[in-house]
Each structure stands twice: as C-alpha cells, then as structure tokens.
C-alpha cells in the first residue's frame, strides 16, 4: 500500500458549511506540513468548520498531532473569547468539552491509539457515523 | 528463525516510511501481535524523526535500527552518529495545560515512553547515540502473522 499522504476535499452542508478532508496513507513528519498548509488555505478562503475523515489514514505520528493542534488553534481563534476559554476549561474538567470547529471521523485503531495516548480525544470530537459527524457542527 | 535484524539507512524524512516498514515486517516475523506492531512502529518512527530533525538537523547522516528478540523480550536499538544528546532527559510537555495555551509539538519521546517499557540512552564509544527501547512479554506465542492463520 502506498504510504504517501493524500488529501482530497469535499464539502457538506449541515447547520453550517463544512469542509471535509479525506486523508489516506501515512501522516508523519514528512507529510504533516501538507495537512497544515491545506488547512490554512481552506481557512484563508473562509472554511470555519473542518471534518477530518480518517478512515483511510493508516498511520499517524506525533507530527500529525502537531498539525491537528495547529489546526485546532487556528479554527478556534476566529471565535475565541474569555467566555469561550472559560467554558472550554470547565468542559475539560467535567469531560463535556466538544470541539466546535474541528471533528474527526472514524480514526483507524492505530490512529485512535495515538490520539488517546496524547490526550487529544479530550479536545477533538470523534464520530463513527458520517451523517452524525456532519450534523454535530 | 533469526532473532536479530538490522537496517542501515540514510537519515531523511522521506525514509521514515521505509523505517516503519522494516519495523512492522520484522516484528511480525518475530511473532509480535498486530496491536503491538503498530505501537512499535510508532515508537521507532518517533525516535527516528527526532534523530533526523534534531540530531542531524536534517543534515546528512545514517540511522541503524536493530530489532532483537531475547526470550520474551524485544529490544530495539536505534543508533546514530549525531552529536551527543539524550532525548530521555528532556521534560515532556505539560499535558495538563489546555491545548489552546500550550505550544504544539514535543510529544515524540513522551509517546515513545508510553509505548515501551523502558527507553534508555547511551553514548556510543565511537561517537553518536544509541537509544534502547525495550518491551517485555509481547510475543503472542506463535510466529504466524494474523493473515497466515487459517480461518
């Protein structure tokens, strides 16, 4: 199987317009900037809700987490306020926080393992049903 | 069945996929189960990435990776000729700090330590570094890969 990262883009309409990145291959230190760059370009052209379809992403290292972190912060910055920061802190404390602007769809077991090891599952909502993922924004 | 297998490879980010494939194929041949194979792949990738990016600072160099089964223990040796540096001594990021208030990155060695039982650094007599990643009791008791098992 080709491990080179491939990202294809589609768009869905829920309560808001959603940009979907379909990732395939391996997300590592050689490819994470590709994801980051593509997310920035989408943001610069108006994308504010991003769903990452990970069901064909075979592998992700901490470089991929770094890209997710940067994307999370970038998307959140458009709406961040002292009130939303406070709400986020409370949500993290009581386990109810759900990321409003970036969500993940069906990470593979190995990728989910990495997300959980680094605690990213606390910040990034994970869905196993695509329609529910779209409706959750 | 060989219980040792070694890869010498140029230390470039483009070679990370080859490094990962070496680890997964060798671990499978040694009888490691699939879940652990994925974790070993991750651990070695993180170490190799650190060597490439921080050890060699993406200048020329090589990495040597040796997988060695010693009874029920798997030891992975990752060797380089980069300047002396002990990544295990670096403090991990504060994961209790919220994502939006901490700097991205810095999770490679933390993840490696979560995956492996021990991660030990030593300086090589000829120069360079060796990281020894050890996982105990990971063998499934069979040398068959998942796909070799008849159903």
CA distance B77 to chain A (A): 19
Q: Provide the pLDDT for residue A2.
A: 74
pLDDT at B69 over 90: yes
| 0.80 surpassed by pTM | yes
Pick the range with the lowest mean pLDDT from A23-32, A76-85, B43-52, B107-116.
Answer: A76-85
**B55 located within any domain:** yes
Instruction: Collect all residues of chain B within an 8 Å Cβ-Cβ radius of residue A95.
Output: none
**B151 located within any domain:** no
> Do the chains contact at A61 and B46, CB–CB below 8 Å?
yes
Q: Is A112's Cβ below 8 Å from some Cβ in B?
A: no
**B92 located within any domain:** yes
Q: In this predicted complex, what is the ipTM?
A: 0.90
Instruction: Collect all residues of chain B within an 8 Å Cβ-Cβ radius of residue A61.
Output: 42, 45-46, 49, 108, 111
CATH of the domain at B84: 3.30.565.10
> Do the chains contact at A80 and B100, CB–CB below 8 Å?
yes
> Do the chains contact at B95 and A118, CB–CB below 8 Å?
yes
**B148 located within any domain:** no
Domains (ranges, CATH) in chain A? 6-135 (3.30.750.24)
**B145 located within any domain:** no
What is the tally of structural domains in chain B?
Answer: 1
- The count of CB pairs under 8 A between chains A and B is 80
Q: What are the tens digits of pLDDT across the range A17-37?
A: 999 999 999 999 999 999 999
**B149 located within any domain:** no
Q: What are the tens digits of pLDDT across the range A94-125?
A: 777 778 899 999 999 999 999 999 999 988 99
> Scanning every residue of chain B, which has its alpha carbon at the shortest distance from the alpha carbon of A97?
B98
* B56 closest CA partner among B132, B129, B131: B129
**B103 located within any domain:** yes
Q: Over chain A, what HEC string results? A: CCCCCEEEEEEEECCCEEEEEEEEEEECCCCHHHHHHHHHHHHHCCCCCEEEEEEEEEEECHHHHHHHHHHHHHHHHCCCCHHHHHHHHHHHHHCCCCCCCEEEECCCHHHHHHHHHCCHHHCCEEECCHHHHHHCC
Q: Provide the pLDDT for residue A83.
A: 65
**B147 located within any domain:** no
pLDDT at B94 over 50: yes
Which range marks the domain in which residue B26 is found?
4-140
Q: A47 to each of A43, A74, A76, B84, B135, how far by Cα in Å? A: 5, 11, 12, 44, 44
């Amino acid at each position: 199987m080709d491990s080179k990262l491939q990202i294809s883009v589609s768009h869905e309409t829920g309560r808001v317009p959603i940009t979907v990145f379909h990732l395939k291959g391996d997300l590592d230190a050689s490819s994470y900037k590709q994801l980051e760059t593509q997310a920035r370009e989408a943001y610069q052209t108006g994308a504010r809700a991003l769903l990452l379809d990970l069901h064909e992403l075979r592998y992700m290292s901490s470089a991929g987490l770094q890209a997710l972190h940067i994307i999370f912060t970038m998307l959140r910055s458009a709406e961040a306020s002292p009130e939303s920061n406070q709400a986020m802190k409370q949500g993290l404390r009581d386990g109810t926080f759900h990321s409003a602007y970036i969500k993940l769809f069906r990470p593979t077991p190995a990728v989910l393992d990495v997300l959980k090891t680094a605690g990213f599952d606390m910040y990034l909502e994970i869905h196993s049903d695509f329609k529910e993922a779209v409706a959750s924004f | 069945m060989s219980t040792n297998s070694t890869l010498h490879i140029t230390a470039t980010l483009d070679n990370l996929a080859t490094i990962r494939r070496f680890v997964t194929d060798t671990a499978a041949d040694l009888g490691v189960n699939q879940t652990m194979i994925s974790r070993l792949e991750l651990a070695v990738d993180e170490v190799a990435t650190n060597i490439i990016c921080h050890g060699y600072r993406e200048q020329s160099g090589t990495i040597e990776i040796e997988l060695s089964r010693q009874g029920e223990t798997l030891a992975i040796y990752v060797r380089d000729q980069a300047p002396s540096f002990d990544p295990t001594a670096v403090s991990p990021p504060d994961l209790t700090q919220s994502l939006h208030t901490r700097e991205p990155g810095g999770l490679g060695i933390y993840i490696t330590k979560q995956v492996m039982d021990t991660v030990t650094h030593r300086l090589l007599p000829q120069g360079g570094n060796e990281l020894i990643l050890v996982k105990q009791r990971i063998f499934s008791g069979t040398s068959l890969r998942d796909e070799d098992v008849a159903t």
